Amino acid sequence: ILNVEQSPQSLHVQEGDSTNFTCSFPSSNFYALHWYRWETAKSPEALFVMTLNGDEKKKGRISATLNTKEGYSYLYIKGSQPEDSATYLCALVQGAQKLVFGQGTRLTINP
């Protein structure tokens, strides 16, 4: 089972600031990478599915980039709002239906 690393584990950001965090993975045997947002007391919600090196995806103030050759993905949040407080998960598609999840980055937005 390959290892998916997310950093930092937790992050506190002032409202209005922009932030980013990282998902690192072994670059070989890459199929796809998922990002999820997981709010407290809810279930994870899919943000992006990324497959191509150099892929960039955007959803409102949240965007993600992918570098499969060096084995990392960045998630960016522009102008953080309190509703962005959540744990952000990345997951690597290892094959067929096998997703390997990182432990997540817990983001707290301070008003």
Partner 1 sequence: NAGVTQTPKFQVLKTGQSMTLQCAQDMNHEYMSWYRQDPGMGLRLIHYSVGAGITDQGEVPNGYNVSRSTTEDFPLRLLSAAPSQTSVYFCASSLAGTARYGYTFGSGTRLTVV
Point out which residues bind partner 1 (CB under 8 A).
1, 4, 31-32, 34, 36, 42-49, 51, 89, 91, 93, 96-104
**Pairing mode, strands 45-50 and 32-38:** antiparallel
In the complex, minimum distance from the CB of residue 92 to partner 1, in angstroms, rounded to a whole number: 10
In the complex with partner 1, which residue's Cβ is closer, 28 or 111? 28
d(CA 56, CA 77): 13
In the complex, minimum distance from the CB of residue 66 to partner 1, in angstroms, rounded to a whole number: 13
d(CA 63, CA 32): 16
In the complex, minimum distance from the CB of residue 58 to partner 1, in angstroms, rounded to a whole number: 15
Q: In what order do the strands lie in the sheet with 72-77?
A: 5-7, 19-24, 72-77, 62-67, 56-59
Contact criterion met (CB below 8 Å) for 8 and 87 = no
In the complex with partner 1, which residue's Cβ is closer, 34 or 75? 34
In the complex with partner 1, which residue's Cβ is closer, 14 or 51? 51
